[in-house]
Amino acid sequence: MSCTARFECPHCRTPLTPWDSPELTSWAGARQYVCFNDDCPYYVRGWAWMQEHFNVRASYRHRFDPATGETGPLPVWSPGALKDRIVERAERSGAPGSPRAEGARRGAGVPADQDEEESAHA
């Protein structure tokens, strides 16, 4: 699956955001696509639904697993919950300095401080 693939929330038509699942989950794919639109009607009405049915302060966001095609709710306990696992645009593209690019460099045996040394002498 291309990291530039675009998926859309069926509830608000906002593009879904790439999101890395926590380790040790039961989802097939490590990369999920999630609607992080705080105005999405699915997310907004989820707060009342969860309170009414389970007496908990929580909601859910629309989630799509491209590995299986499965969609479903991603439970959240606050507006900012799980946003720390959003895959940033630079990381998706492999831009220099991004975790993805740095991981590739380290995989190639280039120490992190070697670049800094080389650029200081340039």
What are 54-82's pLDDT values in tens digits?
999 999 999 999 999 999 999 999 999 99
- Please tell me whether the overall predicted TM-score, pTM, comes out greater than 0.95 for this model: no
The verdict on residue 118 lying in a domain is no
* Tokens coding 107: 């995989």
The verdict on residue 2 lying in a domain is no
Number of folded domains in the chain? 1
Residue 40 has pLDDT above 50, yes or no: yes
pLDDT at 23: 83
Minimum mean pLDDT among 9-13, 70-74, 85-89, 99-103: which range?
Answer: 99-103
The verdict on residue 11 lying in a domain is no
The verdict on residue 5 lying in a domain is no
Amino acid code (one letter) for 62? H
Instruction: Average the pLDDT over 15-31 and give the result.
Output: 86
Amino acid code (one letter) for 81? A
Q: Which residue has the higher pLDDT, 7 or 111?
A: 7
The verdict on residue 54 lying in a domain is yes
The verdict on residue 84 lying in a domain is yes
The verdict on residue 21 lying in a domain is yes
pLDDT at 53: 97
Cβ contact 98:91 at 8 Å: yes
Range of the domain at 79: 17-107
